[in-house]
Amino acid sequence: MNLTKITSLLLGLLSVLILDAQSVKQYSYEQFTDNVSVYASGFNHDETKLLIGCDESGVYNVHSIDLETGKMTQLTHSDNSAQWASAYFPKNDAFLYQGDTEGNEIYHLFMVDEKGNKKELTPDTSSVNRYSFYGFSRDKQSFFLGSTKRTGKLTDVYEVNLDVMEPEMIYENSENLTLNDISDDKKYFVLSKPNTTSDNNLYLYDVEKKESKLITEHEGTASYRSSGFSNDSKSLFYTTNEGGEYSYLMRYDLATGKKEKFLEEKGASVAYAYTSFDEKYRIVGIDKDAQTTLKIYDIASGKEVKFPNLPEGEIGGVRISESEKLMVFSIQSAKQPSNLYLYDIEKATCKQLTDNLNPEINPDDLVEPEHITFKSFDGLEIPSILYKPHGASKENKVPALLMIHGGPGGQSRMGYNSIAQFLCNHGYTILAVNNRGSSGYGKTFNQADDQKHGEADLMDCVESKKYLESLGYVDMDKVGIMGGSYGGYMTLAALTYHPQAFEVGVDIFGPSNWLRTLKSMPPWWESFRKAMFAEMGDPSTADSLRLHKISPLFHAKNIEKPLMVLQGANDPRVLQVESDEIVEAVRKNGVPVEYIVFEDEGHGFLKSENEIEGYEAVLKFLDKYLRK
């Protein structure tokens, strides 16, 4: 091929790339929030309806879906506070739901009868007492309730008989433990106690004897999570990473105390495992590379069951009906928000129940992210998720934004991410960094930031710029950082301790003063408090020196790049004063600061109108100060 032809071909390819970028339609964040979010809570007594949570109205409310017609009916009608679907009653279509007040996380429990009459089952004027729904008993005579009303901190367990609807305490929590599971015969509980955020123990509690027994004595660090009792209450299943990097499934014999490894996946974690009502199926989630795959086993044969005619995508939220004839689950992909499907196991037919992508959005305008890794300052491989905008190339370089997840210990996933897709749709390369300390990549990686927060994990973010530069299509003069909760802290820390690394920062509900944040943890986190101190440091000890050192508020004079801060006025985890003070301090530097407080939100967005306002403002801020 001669030089003229090569030049012509290259020009042709360039024109295709430019055309591709120009042909992609850009969407407002309101259009992205017109995607509906749903989750399934369970079938009704005769398996004709499904109870779900749905934010179609702009805030989460309880809905039902008629499984024959597919008709969705809204059952609660809050317009200011989320109401979370809990469960149908076992013998009729009355249902339970939980709700707080404008994101304050003080949850109460409510009942709606078959006529639509609402009743609060946990009337309490206290500003700190919260309640938890633990499910109905197998005999369908009662349900279990958690409450902090006795101490304001520790959660006791109550049983509520359906005939009288009065709670009776069945476990007084004097040991600062947390309920995980209840056996079907109601004789045993599984209780959990965190030692650190990556190490805990399980206890078997005998209800009649009122005695608890440690069943996970171990050396080193290990995490344990109950996966439920067998129906005959003779065995307990739990997942653990004891002695290894990834979690596997164990079985514990209650009578003998014998333990045996039951199920393991090489190089991946068993994220969860549970059985269907009459133990015909075992449902297992396998977590690897920021995605969860599903396996379902026939318990009698031990063989994996293949369900034909299932749509493609990441399957989650599997619920099998009591008859074990129907299965509901969600499917999502990077370009498609989660939808609910109904699978008839006997007929091997699948029916889509919801269609949640806004019809105004063409999935071809969205991008398929890539799970990548890059080497950090010490050679550690850092997994991340990369979103490349349509049309980005060496000839058409684009700005980039790091997106840092919450936690510490969270994880950015490969599923649908409306914020990443929105910003990528507007021309920003997004790198969602799973810095050291993130979950999903083994025990050692998860613990690699302990007592190193704002240092080693922050350096992972700074070092990611070398990877961005290697892509060739990123304008390295236009790289910013954004994060929520702990990711918000990482954003502030990046601007504070590496003031030249990023051109802008967007802090969403992030702490700026660890001394205050750790001291002001909500009272219902009492069982988690010591574990958090073990990872982050105890503000009442000599650890306070380091916590002062890594708190951006005390070093805000170093911040010289534009900053945007979003905050919920009712946030019980990161108090508004955290954002008020960092904003005031940075403004004294003469640095542009934009600050939005949402008076009716807590720790995160639950109302669509606020989410729209917040992220549309973020885009304008980025366009003004990063894209330039």
Confidence check: pLDDT of 531 > 80: yes
pLDDT for the residue numbered 187: 97
Local confidence band at 2 (pLDDT 50, 70, 90 cut-offs):
very low
Confidence check: pLDDT of 74 > 90: yes
Q: Considering only CA atoms, which of 323, 253, 247 is closest in space to residue 285?
A: 247
| Alpha carbon distance, N-terminus to C-terminus of the chain | 41
Local confidence band at 507 (pLDDT 50, 70, 90 cut-offs):
very high
Q: How far apart are CA 174 and CA 594, in angstroms?
A: 46
400 and 431 Cβ atoms separated by less than 8 Å: yes
Amino acid sitting at position 537 = G
pLDDT tens-digit series, residues 323-353: 999 999 999 999 999 999 999 999 999 999 9
Length of the chain, please?
A: 628
Please state which of the ranges 184-193, 231-240, 246-255, 307-316 shows the lowest mean pLDDT.
Answer: 307-316
3-class DSSP state for residue 471?
helix
- Residue scoring higher pLDDT (311 or 45): 45
Buried b (16+ CB within 10 A) or exposed e, 426-464: bbbbbbbbbbbbbbbbbbebbbbbbebbbebbbbbbbbb
Average pLDDT over residues 354-376: 96
pLDDT for the residue numbered 14: 43
Average pLDDT over residues 388-408: 96
pLDDT tens-digit series, residues 412-426: 999 999 999 999 999
63 and 75 Cβ atoms separated by less than 8 Å: yes
Confidence check: pLDDT of 199 > 50: yes
Question: What does the mean pLDDT of the chain come to?
Answer: 94
500's tokens: 């030249």
pLDDT for the residue numbered 21: 53
Please state which of the ranges 369-383, 528-542, 571-585 shows the lowest mean pLDDT.
Answer: 528-542
Q: How far apart are CA 202 and CA 7, in angstroms?
A: 68
Amino acid sitting at position 525 = W
User: Exposed, middle or buried, 255 (CB in 10 Å: 0-12/13-18/19+)?
Assistant: exposed
Average pLDDT over residues 194-206: 95
369 and 383 Cβ atoms separated by less than 8 Å: no
Q: How far apart are CA 103 and CA 512, in angstroms?
A: 21
Q: How far apart are CA 177 and CA 187, in angstroms?
A: 17
pLDDT for the residue numbered 307: 87
Place of tokens 């910003």: 423
Q: On the CB side of 69, how many CA atoms lie within 13 Å of its CA?
A: 6
Q: Considering only CA atoms, which of 271, 287, 275, 273 is closest in space to residue 320?
A: 275
Q: Percentage of the chain with pLDDT > 90?
A: 89
Q: How far apart are CA 257 and CA 246, in angstroms?
A: 23
Distance of CA 124 to the CA centre of its chain: 29
For the chain, helix, strand, coil in percent to 5 are 20, 35, 45
- Kind of pairing between the strands at 259-263 and 248-253: antiparallel
Q: How far apart are CA 247 and CA 239, in angstroms?
A: 6
Strand partners, 566: 508, 596
Rounded alpha-carbon distances, angstroms, from residue 447 to 195, 444, 514, 534: 13, 5, 19, 11
Q: How far apart are CA 563 and CA 586, in angstroms?
A: 8
Q: Which residue spans within 75-155 are E strands per DSSP?
A: 83-88, 95-99, 108-112, 118-120, 131-136, 142-147
- What is the CATH topology of the domain spanning 386-513+551-627? Rossmann fold (3.40.50)
Confidence check: pLDDT of 524 > 90: no
Cis peptide before 408 (omega within 30 of 0): yes
pLDDT tens-digit series, residues 221-262: 999 999 999 999 999 999 999 999 999 999 999 999 999 999
| Inter-axis angle of helices 456-471 and 486-497, nearest 10 | 80
Q: How far apart are CA 559 and CA 579, in angstroms?
A: 15
The DSSP call for residue 626 is: I
Q: Considering only CA atoms, which of 200, 283, 275 is closest in space to residue 241?
A: 200
User: Exposed, middle or buried, 190 (CB in 10 Å: 0-12/13-18/19+)?
Assistant: buried
Sequence-distant (6+) residues with CB within 8 A of 399 are 427, 428, 429, 474, 475, 478, 479, 480, 622, 626, 627
Confidence check: pLDDT of 128 > 90: no
What does the longest C-alpha to C-alpha distance in the chain come to?
Answer: 89
Residue spans of the domains in the chain: they are 266-356, 386-513+551-627
Q: Considering only CA atoms, which of 155, 145, 138 is closest in space to residue 121?
A: 145
Local confidence band at 183 (pLDDT 50, 70, 90 cut-offs):
very high
Please state which of the ranges 89-93, 355-359, 560-564 shows the lowest mean pLDDT.
Answer: 355-359
Q: How far apart are CA 583 and CA 591, in angstroms?
A: 10
pTM of the model: 0.92
pLDDT tens-digit series, residues 18-70: 435 568 999 999 999 888 999 999 999 999 999 999 999 999 999 999 999 99
